[in-house]
Amino acid sequence: MTRFIHHGDDKRRFIRRMFAEIAPRYDLLNRLLTLGMDRHWRKRLAKAVRLESGERILDLACGTGDVARTIARQQPESIIVGADPVPEMLAWTSTRSLRLRTVCCESEALPFQDNSFRTITVAFGVRNFSYLDRSLQEINRILAPDGCLGILEFALPTKGRLRRFYHWYLTSLLPRLGALLSRGYAYHYLAESIRHFPGPEDFINLLASSGFSHVVTERFLGGTVWLYRGQKVSA
């Protein structure tokens, strides 16, 4: 049984409201609930996309700008654009880095020209997209030929005991911890959206059918977090 909507305009409205509400506590909760491991995963993402000095990079679903700042530290010469549809999340990004330009937009209608970025990153964003297929096609459109897409996303582990523990953590412990500091329903949504999102094998197939090749993966914490790197197929 599902409590939340996982596609379309109703999802979009829900997502905007939820992230607007949790924005002030988002970074703090990330650190606490992942015991600081989220920093390591974001660094791995920035490394995996093999950035070149001075290039233009898009961090889509940038939220409060954690990945963008990680990239900015690694590539001081680069121009980084952070895009997100929730102004309350973007507000935290803009106050923290002068070198980062932010754009308020949705992944399914990106206000950028074809082939305009060599690298695009999305950390814990794709699961929240209201139109996943269309968004991947948009990402592909604005990525330069042979450009690189790096994605971080949660998944359910496949192994029995770990899967049961993680399920308990997501559905029982996490919403209670989340409710102490922020909005509990956001963490119920997190659990349900992870269960609802395509598993790694299906997501790799979806990337391939959206025009990405050479997809490689790396997984962390027993397969609860996955890093995907793909290359835009040249015409």
Ligand X SMILES: C[S@@+](CC[C@H](N)C(=O)[O-])C[C@H]1O[C@@H](n2cnc3c(N)ncnc32)[C@H](O)[C@@H]1O
Binding site for ligand X (CB under 6 A): 15, 19, 60-63, 66-67, 84-86, 89, 106-107, 123-125, 128-130
Question: Please, what is the minimum distance in Å from the beta carbon of residue 143 to ligand X?
Answer: 15
Q: What is the 3-state secondary structure (H, E, C) of 141-187?
A: HHEEEEEEEEEEEECCCCCHHHHHHHHHHHHHHHHHHHHHHCCHHHH
Q: What is the number of the residue whose Cβ is closest to ligand X?
A: 63
Question: Please, what is the minimum distance in Å from the beta carbon of residue 172 to ligand X?
Answer: 21
Q: Measuring CA to CA, how many Å separate 55 from each of 32, 78, 127, 146, 222?
A: 33, 5, 27, 14, 33
Question: Please, what is the minimum distance in Å from the beta carbon of residue 191 to ligand X?
Answer: 13
Query: Based on CB atoms, which residue is closest to ligand X, 60 or 155?
Result: 60
Question: Please, what is the minimum distance in Å from the beta carbon of residue 15 to ligand X?
Answer: 5
Query: Based on CB atoms, which residue is closest to ligand X, 130 or 140?
Result: 130
Query: Based on CB atoms, which residue is closest to ligand X, 130 or 210?
Result: 130
Query: Based on CB atoms, which residue is closest to ligand X, 8 or 54?
Result: 8
- Dihedral (CA of 81, 85, 89, 90) sign: positive
Question: Please, what is the minimum distance in Å from the beta carbon of residue 161 to ligand X?
Answer: 27
| Lookup result for tokens 């996943």 | 132
β pairing state of 143-154 and 212-220: unpaired
Q: In what helix (H) or strand (E) does residue 120 lie, and over which residues does it extend?
A: strand 117-123
Query: Based on CB atoms, which residue is closest to ligand X, 45 or 204?
Result: 45
